[in-house]
């Protein structure tokens, strides 16, 4: 059993999409999702598809990676199509009929509509994480949450916890893999037997992982304190992310166009 060490799907290439501020991309993804749910015809979805294809092209993210997410929803797509298109012994005229099973024309169109919407949702939302590094994402999230600090929401602490979590995912994964390999070398089997047996087999892996977690947390807290960490108050950044004029223009025009597209089509 292998632990995938690489986190997320960020594709580190230079492109105009990568260069946008994370807040701009988050806003556009929200507007895109909202627009998809407003649309009620295939023409609208086709236009949204062209838009997504253009963004994938501009972002220089390989098509194979951009479409990878759809593989996981393939079964949902098949069920969606089948649930809408297939009829058992219908009384009305059907598009294709094999024995009692028939493909209903309008049902097929509805199925294609819902399946296309799922594909666009998966690919469209994936573009945010494909073109924004996890650290930039949490930074953007912190800035978006900043106004909530007025009502005592700990936006800075939340962002710090997410940043530490992202930083330690590869370390934890490597540690888990090392322990798994060591236990396998001692004869442990993690891919045999029922779920309970497997969970029990994980016992000798879980104990060191958890003990290390809480010891490391204590060390990390001491390290943070010794560097005068005291929350968000007065904290500055090495790389300040700034919403440029281009970001505002893309966010405002893009969101307005997407919502208008959703309302019209």
Site residues for other proteins per CB under 8 A: 1, 3-4, 7-9, 33, 37, 69-70, 72-73, 75-76, 79-80, 83, 118, 121-122, 125-126, 129, 134, 137, 141, 157-158, 160-166, 168-169, 171-173, 176, 195-196, 198-200, 202-203, 206-207, 209-211, 213-218, 220-222, 224-225, 229-231
Nearer to other proteins by Cβ, of 136 and 265: the residue is: 136
We find the least distance from the C-beta atom of residue 45 to other proteins, in angstroms, to be 15
Nearer to other proteins by Cβ, of 186 and 245: the residue is: 186
Exposed / middle / buried, residue 27 (Cβ in 10 Å: 0-12, 13-18, 19+): buried
Q: Which residues lie below 8 Å from residue 220, measured CB to CB, with a gap of 6+?
A: 164
Nearer to other proteins by Cβ, of 89 and 222: the residue is: 222
We find the least distance from the C-beta atom of residue 190 to other proteins, in angstroms, to be 8
Whether 104 contacts 95, CB under 8 Å: yes
Euclidean distance between CA atoms 28 and 251, whole angstroms: 6
Euclidean distance between CA atoms 57 and 52, whole angstroms: 9
Nearest to 116 by CA among 84, 152, 158, 139: 84
Nearer to other proteins by Cβ, of 97 and 167: the residue is: 167
We find the least distance from the C-beta atom of residue 15 to other proteins, in angstroms, to be 18
Nearer to other proteins by Cβ, of 72 and 238: the residue is: 72
Dihedral of CA 13/19/21/24: which sign?
negative
Nearer to other proteins by Cβ, of 97 and 215: the residue is: 215
We find the least distance from the C-beta atom of residue 254 to other proteins, in angstroms, to be 19
We find the least distance from the C-beta atom of residue 193 to other proteins, in angstroms, to be 11
Euclidean distance between CA atoms 140 and 29, whole angstroms: 14
Query: What are the backbone angles phi and psi of residue 190, rounded to the nearest 5°?
Result: -100, -10
We find the least distance from the C-beta atom of residue 242 to other proteins, in angstroms, to be 23
Element spanning 175, H or E:
helix 155-185
């Amino acid at each position: 059993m292998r632990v995938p060490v690489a986190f997320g799907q960020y594709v580190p290439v230079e492109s105009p999409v990568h260069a946008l501020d994370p807040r701009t991309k988050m806003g556009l993804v929200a507007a895109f999702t909202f627009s998809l749910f407003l649309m009620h015809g295939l023409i609208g979805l086709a236009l949204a598809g062209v838009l997504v294809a253009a963004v994938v092209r501009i972002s220089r993210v390989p098509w194979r990676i951009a479409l990878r997410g759809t593989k996981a929803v393939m079964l949902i797509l098949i069920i969606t199509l089948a649930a809408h298109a297939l009829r058992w012994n219908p009384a009305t005229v059907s598009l294709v009929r094999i024995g009692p099973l028939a493909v209903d024309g309008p049902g097929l169109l509805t199925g294609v509509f819902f399946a296309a919407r799922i594909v666009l949702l998966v690919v469209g939302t994936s573009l945010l994480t494909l073109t924004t590094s996890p650290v930039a994402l949490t930074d953007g999230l912190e800035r978006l949450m900043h106004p909530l600090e007025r009502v005592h929401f700990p936006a800075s602490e939340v962002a710090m916890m997410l940043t530490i979590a992202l930083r330690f995912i590869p370390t934890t994964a490597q540690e888990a893999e090392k322990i798994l390999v060591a236990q396998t070398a001692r004869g442990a089997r993690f891919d045999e037997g029922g779920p309970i047996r497997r969970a029990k087999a994980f016992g000798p892996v879980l104990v060191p992982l958890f003990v290390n977690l809480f010891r490391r947390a204590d060390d990390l807290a001491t390290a943070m304190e010794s560097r005068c960490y005291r929350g968000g108050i007065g904290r500055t950044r090495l790389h300040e992310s700034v919403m440029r004029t281009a970001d505002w223009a893309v966010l405002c025009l893009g969101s307005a166009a997407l919502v208008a597209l959703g309302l019209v089509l």
